[in-house]
Structure 1
Amino acid sequence: MGTGRRGLIAAVVTAVCAVTVPAAPGTAFAEPGPTPPAATASDEDLEAVRDELDRLYRAAAVATDEYNAAEEEARRRSAELAELARRITEGQEELDRLEDRAGAAARAQYRTGGLPDEARLVLSDDPRQFLDGTGRVLQGQRATKGLIAERDRTQQDLRTYAADASAGRKRLEADRRAKRTAREEVERRIAAAEELESELEREERERLERLEREAAQRAQTAWLGSGVLEGAAGEASAQGRKAVEFATAQVGKPYRWGAEGPAAYDCSGLTSRAWASAGLAVPRTSQQQWEQLRHVDVRDMRPGDLIVYFPDASHVGMYVGDGEVVHAPRPGRTITVTGAGTMPILGVVRPDAT
């Protein structure tokens, strides 16, 4: 390969490496230098590019999980605020009703109970009528006190709801800021990867894809050769079959980060929607799926189980049987069925575990 083209690949990789390292806010990234003359890249150079692309897209996947988590949290906060607004409205209506009733009771009590009992006894022509009236007055006093106590409780509830709503609005804004930050991070990572790929000639891109396929095949062969699936014959549950049917029906649709269908999906958007179609809600992100769902041994997995990849749980696919997984790979790719061992497996989780 000519020194000019080798310099181009090296310059692009070096420049992109700066993006893969988290930087403090406001940090500026150096722009790549002038483009040297083109030359053919060697397989060794393309392997370096492939490694760099893997790192970039994995970093984008982590940022996508952060975006999805912030999105889910923002939805939850919005629902909480809507519920608090409903409670505040109903509480205020109840308070107004209690104020009216308590006021009317207090006025009636004043009209009938203004004199001391001794004076009312002296002025009464019928002591029995006086005693009956006194009982009714006492009942009215207790009822009035009850109304006032209920009004006070409602007032306290309203103060609590208002405080919760204020705190909820602050948390919602924090969730939205986190979502914006994650969105910017995703877009930066993907743009860097796309820039790196755009620097390659068509023939080089074709060879890069061939190298990716070969690497995936080697990994799958090694995984199967380890005997990990020997004796494994787990059958899908009824829900698992429905989830697999949904996921495989999406094959060919594009990957889009943050997407949950129906036109496009990201990796956890596909798995969560597939299980939702089977009547079971699962966490939205691959990291949440890894943390919250029941873990099962790889040897015990069955179709419908989710295989979580990489040490940071940044990718997930659905096992469909025969050593294969359906997944949404990354930006620029479509949903596909591939070998389950083509990526480093962190572990397996089962959404419908009892």
Structure 2
Amino acid sequence: MPKKRRLAAAITLVCALSVLAAPGTAFADPAPTPSGGAPGQPLTLDEVGKQIDELYRQAAAATDAYNLAEEQTKQQSAQIVQLAQQIVQGQEKIKRLKDQAGATARMQYRNGGLPPGALMMLSGDPGSFLDGANRLREGQQAAQSLLTELNQTQADLAAYGKDATAQWTNLEDNRVKKEAAKKDITEKIAAAEKLQSQLKEQDRQRLAELERKKEFDSQTAWLSTGILKAISTGASEQGKKAVKFATDQIGKPYLWGAEGPGSFDCSGLTSQAWLAAGHGIPRTSQEQWAQLPHVAIKDMRPGDLIIYFADATHVGMYIGDGAIVHAPRPGRNVTITGAGSMPILGIVRPDR
């Protein structure tokens, strides 16, 4: 059996064994779970699972918002530093130009401010006067050029100051966005953890089994389309490096907003993997989807990024043989799973 088929079959078999090993209970049977459905009616495990999934999905969306605001904050801070340097340089240039203008004014004062005709009459040497007149014209042109440069430098300084003010405003706006996203993330994760904590141990195990079955069914359906027959197995050199970095992180915990080295969120993993491969990409899954070149699923190759869900709030890296490596969600570690185990929005290729 070719290597591609062996790994795909292995992934499917692991999922299947996880499901078959579960106790013989109906997953959607009512269980003593937190209330929240119809008045007086306990939620089924299936309903609890959907609530938890939705809370983590909302936390993922808020994490993308936080990461984007954080990235923009870094860029704006760097721009403010650059503008500050330009302002200092401009101020030093204005001082130098003013000193030059002062020297020119003092020279004119020493000449008494007499018109050229009077200076010619007083000089008694027309040849010397003409030489001096040429120098005077050159000096006047230089003075005009100096004044023009001074005015332009002052205008530049005003523009730098205006840009710096705008960047400070944007910086504050993003600080507010980050704080709001952070609050949203922590609230959603806390709500999901509270739901899980209210379950009995047996129900938590059944919920995990239910999740594995859902992923197994989704992956099986995806593979049944025959998609692996069309997908390429060859990766670019940079793609190989990105895959190696990502798979080397397996077992490290998910942490929202993290981009290594000890923990990652989903887009933190993919962005750092491609950075390690020598190719910087956007920080968030939504920006990766918006800015990177799209490719068809049939043209997918290892190293490509698979963007999940309609709002592009999750991303994994395709590693071949129908599998991805990804950082799933809070409470989980970086792991390998089926590429079709979640709803695929599309594929992007960083090094196209």
Under a length normalisation based on structure 2, what TM-score does the superposition of the two structures give? 0.88
CA deviation after TM superposition for structure 1 residue 14, in Å: 8.0
1:334-353 pair list within 5 angstroms: 334-353=333-352
Question: Is contact 1:106–1:144 with CA below 8 Å preserved after alignment?
Answer: no
Q: Distance in 2 between matches of 1:94 and 1:180?
A: 40
Name the structure 2 match of 1:302: 301
**Is residue 35 of structure 2 the alignment partner of residue 11 of structure 1?**
yes
- Tell me which stretches of 4 or more aligned residues in structure 1 moved more than 4 Å: 12-15
Which residue of 1 is the match for residue 10 of structure 2?
A: none
How far apart are residue 122 of structure 1 and its match?
Answer: 1.8
Report the counterpart of residue 77 of structure 1 in structure 2: 76
Per-residue Cα deviation, 1:184-232 (whole angstroms, up to 9, x for no partner): 1111111100100010111211111111111111111111011122232
Unaligned runs of 5+ in 2: 1-24
Q: Distance in 1 between matches of 2:120 and 2:220?
A: 104
Whole-Å Cα distance in 1 between the matches of residues 37 and 285 of structure 2? Answer: 28
- The structural deviation recorded for 1:118 is 2.4
What CA deviation, in whole Å up to 9, does each residue of 1:249-305 have, x standing for no partner? Answer: 000000000100001000000000000000001111101111111111111100000
Contact 1:240 1:303 in 2 (8 A): yes
Greater Cα shift, 234-243 or 199-208: 199-208
What's 1:285 paired with? Answer: 284
> How large is the Cα RMSD of the aligned pairs?
2.0
Aligned equivalents of 2:267, 2:301: Cα separation in 1 = 18
What is the aligned partner in structure 2 of residue 94 from structure 1? 93
Kindly report which structure 2 residues correspond to 1:1-354, keeping only aligned pairs within 5 A, or say none. 9-11=33-35, 45-112=44-111, 114-353=113-352
Q: Residue 52 of structure 1 aligns to which amino acid in structure 2?
A: Q
1:84-114 deviation per Cα after TM superposition (whole angstroms, max 9, x unaligned): 0000001001110111011111211232261
8 Å contact 1:77–1:172 — kept in the other structure? yes
Q: Distance in 1 between matches of 2:118 and 2:231?
A: 95
Q: Distance in 1 between matches of 2:79 and 2:123?
A: 59
Aligned-residue identity in percent: 54
Deviations 1:37-83 (A, max 9, x none): xxxx9xx8111111111111111100100111111111111111110
Bigger Cα displacement from structure 2, 198-207 vs 80-89: 198-207
Distance 2:129 2:330 in 1: 88
Structure of higher RCO (CA pairs closer than 8 Å, 6+ residues apart): 2
Is the contact between residue 31 and residue 45 of structure 2 (CA under 8 Å) also seen in structure 1? no
The amino acid of 1:11's aligned partner reads: S
Alignment-mate amino acid for residue 233 of structure 2: G
Q: Distance in 2 between matches of 1:207 and 1:120?
A: 106
Once residues 189 and 314 of structure 2 are traced to their aligned partners in structure 1, the CA distance between those partners, rounded to angstroms, is 16
Specify whether residues 286 and 157 from structure 1 end up closer, same or farther in structure 2 by C-alpha distance, changes over 3 A only. same
Distance in 1, Cα, partners of 2:152 & 2:86: 14
Specify the code of the residue in structure 2 equivalent to 1:262: P
The CA deviation at 1:247 is 0.1
Aligned counterparts of 2:149 and 2:339: Cα–Cα separation in 1? 62
Q: Give the Cα separation in 1 of the matches to 2:46 and 2:159.
A: 60
Change (3 A) 1:282 1:167: same
Work out the number of aligned pairs and report it: 324
Find the aligned partners of 1:222 and 1:201 in 2 and give their Cα distance. Answer: 32
Inter-partner Cα distance in structure 1 for 2:70 and 2:37: 32
Q: Which amino acid aligns with 2:33?
A: I
Which residue identity lines up with residue 106 of structure 1 in the other structure? A
Q: Aligned partners of 1:267 and 1:152: how far apart in 2?
A: 51
TM-score (norm 1): 0.88
Is the CA contact 2:308–2:343 (under 8 Å) kept in the aligned structure 1?
Answer: yes
State the secondary structure of the residue aligned to 2:312: coil
